Structure 1
Amino acid sequence: MMRAFFSRTGTRTTLSATKRARWGMLISAAGVWRTEGFDVWVGDNGAWTDHMQGRPFDIKRFVRFVGWICAQIRAGNPPHWIALPDIVMGGIGSLDLSVRWLRWLRNVPELADQRFMLVVQNGMEACAATLTRLRRIVGPMVGIFVGGDTDWKLRTMGFWRAFTHMLGAILHVGRVNSARRIEACGKISADSFDGSSVSRFPKTLKELERARYGAVLAQSQIDIEDYLREAA
């Protein structure tokens, strides 16, 4: 089933409602580092927040965040995945940065068995050399997180779904804050998405959860039809 993640909040009623709906929590390096009792959570690098606030990526903060994640792992509550640092709409420069961080993170003992997510950015799909590099990196333990600007994200996420399927990797779509976006994620069989809508406007949870459930049912119907065609 397509997983849903919401940006961390400390509001108790929202936490209770999202737990009942079985949403996971996205914890950003740029926010408050608490799992709030959730055992399904992911670690985000905080680059988007820095970008929106017009400041450079905070390297020291991310290193401290990694230390906090390692403490969670030692306590028996590991993340579902960790997003590698990236440059918003940074193209090949973003990939270079992510690869350098991946090498460093893989040398952290507590992270040896953890899955990382490489955040793809505008233009990466159009460069053959970049795609060749990505094929060497992406796989079961390095998935794709679709970042970039909104237009590019919506236009290319189907491509990234096919790309990850080919390599046995998972696909996550960032900044999904409406029923229509969730339906779009369902149509391409994304593994997960995240958004801040539920955190900012808790009343939207029911609408978004209906959209997620509908997307899963629609995908299940497609799977059944494919099975029947193959069995005929």
Structure 2
Amino acid sequence: MTEILDRAEDPARMIRMIILEMEETLVEVRASAARSIADGKEMRRAYARLEEMQESWTEKAELALSKDREDLAKQALVERQKAAEMAEGLKQEIEAIDETLKTYEADIAKLQAKLREARARQNAIATRLESAVTRAKARELLNGGRTEDAFSRFDMLEKRADLAEGHADALGMTGPKSLEEEIAGLRASDKVDAELEAMKAALKAKNKS
């Protein structure tokens, strides 16, 4: 899966490479077809020459017979037979080349159709690939150990946060007063009461006068 995702990291580039490969293949098939066409033309010219040779040897054999030279006529017919056998061999090769050319023609038509389709759907295919890669990565993440590790780290952080909050709350708490604090409080209260009584007496004396 990782290897597939790595190869499909850039779907648009991947599509361009596929189209380029198809174009190169089309060029190669056309080049092979061109060579086959050239070979076929050359073989047809050779076949035509062999047919002319057969006609020529036939005429020579007839001429030899007309001159009562049966021996020469027989030799001419032997040469004509050789030319005929060569022509038959060439004919079979020409037929094979014609069949090959039909295959090339079909292959070229298919490649051209696929190229047109790929170019027309290039953007759509790239979008689908990107979506598929994204889904695959998401599923790999959810099904792999990375997600569990992430959630474990989250749990650890939450525990640390709880501990920190508890520590802060503890610092804000006021515990029970010690004995010294309570006695000091009483002394402070007596002092306030004495000052209050003094103020009352002073105010009362002032009003009488």
TM-score by length of 1: 0.18
| Richer in strand (by share) | 1
Higher RCO structure (Cα 8 Å, ≥6 apart): 2
TM-score norm. by structure 2 comes to 0.20
Computing the radius of gyration from Cα coordinates, the structure with the larger value is 2
